[in-house]
Each structure stands twice: as C-alpha cells, then as structure tokens.
Amino acid sequence: MTVSIVRPKSLTAATLSPALRLKDILKTLPKECFQKDMKKAWTAVIVNVLMVGLGYASIAIAPWFLLPLAWLFTGTALTGFFVIAHDCGHRSFAKRRWVNDLVGHIFMLPLIYPFHSWRLLHNLHHNHTNKMDVDNAWQPFRPELYDGMPKLIQQAYQGMRGRLWWLASIVHWAIMHFDPSRVEAKDRNKIKLSVAVVVGFAAIAFPLLIATLGFVGLVKFWLMPWLVYHFWMSTFTLVHHTAPDIDFQEPEQWHAAKAQLAGTVHCDYPLGVEWLCHQINVHVPHHLSTAIPSYNLRMAHESLRANWGAHLYESRFSWSLMKTITDQCHLYHAEECYQSFKAHHQLKG
C-alpha cells in the first residue's frame, strides 16, 4: 500500500473559538447518527463470526506458503471482534447494559482481553484525549522523563515509538489491563471479574489446543492471528491521534472541542480492512460522541465534513504515513508538538 498522505484541508489556518463546546459540534450532526439499529448491530455480529470462522478454516487448509495470508485475514477479522466489544464498552451496541457486558466479554475472549478493564481505562482516554500526563493512549514522554530513564527502558521506548510500533499494543495490554489498582476502588471488582473470565478461558482453551494440535497448533491458530490483531490495534491507536502537527496540550491549556475535533485523525484504510473492522477508523465522530454506533460513523463524518471540514485531519494509510509518524513523533515538545529522538540527542550533544 503506497498511497500518499492526504493533508488537512486547512488545519494550520483554521482556528477554533475558545468558547466552542463539544455540544455545539454535536448539534450539527443528524439525529440519526445516534440511533441504535439492532438489525445492523446483530448482522455485524453474525457476519464477523462467519469471517473469523472462515479465517480459521483457511488456516487449517492453507499450505505453508499461504499461511501468512490466512493469518492476516483471521487477525483482521478478530480485530472486528474487538470493535464490536468496543461498541459494547461504550454502550452503543445494545440498549440493555447486561447485553453490552455479555457480548463485550464474549468477543474479547479469543483476544484474552479483560472487557471491564479495557472499558474503564479507555473511557479515561476519551475524557482526556491528548491531555498531557492524563491521556493513557500513546502519550509521548516528556524529554526530562525520557532522559531520567535507564538505557534499557529508553531503548524499549524508542522501539515502541519507532519501527516496532506494532508491538506497543501488546505492552499496553500486558501492563495496563490486568491490574485492578489502575481504576477507582468501586470498580475493582469488575476488573477482577473480567480478568478471571479471560484467565479461565485461556486455562481451558490453550491446554485443549495444545493437547489436540500440539504447541505448533497454539502458534498457528492463536498466536499468529493474535499478533496480527495487535498490529492493527497498535497502528489504529497510534494513527488516531498522532501526526507531526497534532499536539498534546498541558492540562491547564487543554480544550475539549479542539482535542476531539482537530486532534483526532480520520484515516482511510483498504476497503477490506475497513469492512472487517467495522469502520472504526472513521474516528473523529467517535471522539465527539461515543454514543454513535460504528455503523453510523460514516454518516456522522460526512456531516462533519460539510460543517467543520476546515478543522478535520484526514490521511490515508501507507508506509509513508507510518514512516513520518515513527521518524518524527517521539517526545513531547510544547511549541513544535513533537521532538524526534535524533533532534533531542543532537541538542544534548
């Protein structure tokens, strides 16, 4: 995929009024954007289950040289599982909370992702998008924090912000989502429940898979698609809020409408990825309101283009896009948004 980056229409020239509120933007969206459609929601579930089943079948019958394609398809379809659970976490899948919680837990099982843990921590990201020291998704390190770290941690961070970006989601999953202390005391039992659910699933599924297909079967049917899923998770999350001219703001300067409208990136991916992942990369309207179901995101985005187009940041997935991000967007810089590792080390001498 070697398509060019589509720069913002007039991002540098367009300014948002400090008095602008999120609800002012939301009032311009069609009311239909916020309406749940159970037929569309459950159709997405059925189709996604069929696609994941097709993916596993392709892994079972594919000759060795076609396995990478089967893993790519299956891992991308499993990312669709996550997006369905994502809607459940935001209560935009079903009207009943218990349905959202049940479906969310089920669809995160193959990913070994604790549903409530992800849901609660992800809501923090939505409430404080691009706010320094608060946002928990791809926040750049401050230079002084980076300088004070052991060399090994610095090198790991360089990898996660550089060419190894696709592993960052695994690190985030392992560090953040199995620790109940990261949420308020009143929610910790929910975290413990979700962790118990996925640990119990893994304790049954993994030994069964090894017993029937051997350790190679575990790698072939679970690990490789799981790594593809984390490639997309890392890529989607990084691209959603990262560009050389999209800034993280100090808490006292943070402006909700600016962060959610102009600090969130719309990125076009290949049609197959968009379809299997339920349009989650139509991300600007999702950050304006998590109540918009995934199947209504494109409708909402077209409305935003018509009314707020000068403030939208739109790009297209390509190696050049990822190279730009991973070459430049490393450390926090108050005036220039980001400072690269190279520039930082040159300044230090």
62-104: pLDDT as tens digits: 999 999 999 999 999 999 999 999 999 999 999 999 999 999 9
Query: What pLDDT is stored for residue 283 in this prediction?
Result: 95
Number of domains in the chain: 1
Rounded to whole angstroms, what are the CA distances from 270 to 77, 100, 283, 318?
Answer: 14, 29, 15, 10
Query: What pLDDT is stored for residue 40 in this prediction?
Result: 98
Neighbours of 207 (CB within 10 A): 11
Q: Are 332 and 132 in contact (CB under 8 A)?
A: yes
Kindly indicate the confidence band of residue 348, based on its pLDDT and cuts at 50, 70 and 90. Answer: confident
Task: Give the global pTM.
Answer: 0.93
The Cα–Cα gap between 305 and 302 comes to 5
- Domain residues for the domain of 62 are 22-348
Query: What pLDDT is stored for residue 4 in this prediction?
Result: 38
Check whether 107 has a pLDDT greater than 50.
yes
The residues pairing with 131 across neighbouring beta strands, listed in sequence order, are 249
The answer to whether residue 110 is domain-embedded is yes
The answer to whether residue 2 is domain-embedded is no
- Stretch 17-26: mean pLDDT, rounded? 92
CA 30 to chain centre: 25
The answer to whether residue 7 is domain-embedded is no
The answer to whether residue 13 is domain-embedded is no
Instruction: Give the tens place of pLDDT for each residue, 290-300.
Output: 999 999 999 99
Instruction: Give the tens place of pLDDT for each residue, 129-155.
Output: 999 999 998 899 999 999 999 999 999
- Name the 3-class secondary structure at 266: strand
The answer to whether residue 17 is domain-embedded is no
- Stretch 7-36: mean pLDDT, rounded? 79
- Stretch 317-327: mean pLDDT, rounded? 96
Kindly indicate the confidence band of residue 199, based on its pLDDT and cuts at 50, 70 and 90. Answer: very high
Kindly indicate the confidence band of residue 19, based on its pLDDT and cuts at 50, 70 and 90. Answer: confident
Neighbours of 21 (CB within 10 A): 12
Query: What pLDDT is stored for residue 6 in this prediction?
Result: 43
Instruction: Give the tens place of pLDDT for each residue, 235-282.
Output: 999 999 999 999 999 999 999 999 999 999 999 999 999 999 999 999
The answer to whether residue 186 is domain-embedded is yes
Query: In the 8-state DSSP scheme, what is residue 284?
Result: H
Contacts of 328 (CB under 8 A, 6+ apart): 244, 338, 340
- Stretch 210-228: mean pLDDT, rounded? 98
Residue percentage of the chain with pLDDT more than 90: 93
The answer to whether residue 187 is domain-embedded is yes
- Stretch 194-198: mean pLDDT, rounded? 98
The residues pairing with 338 across neighbouring beta strands, listed in sequence order, are 332
Mean pLDDT estimate for the chain: 94
The answer to whether residue 8 is domain-embedded is no
Kindly indicate the confidence band of residue 7, based on its pLDDT and cuts at 50, 70 and 90. Answer: very low
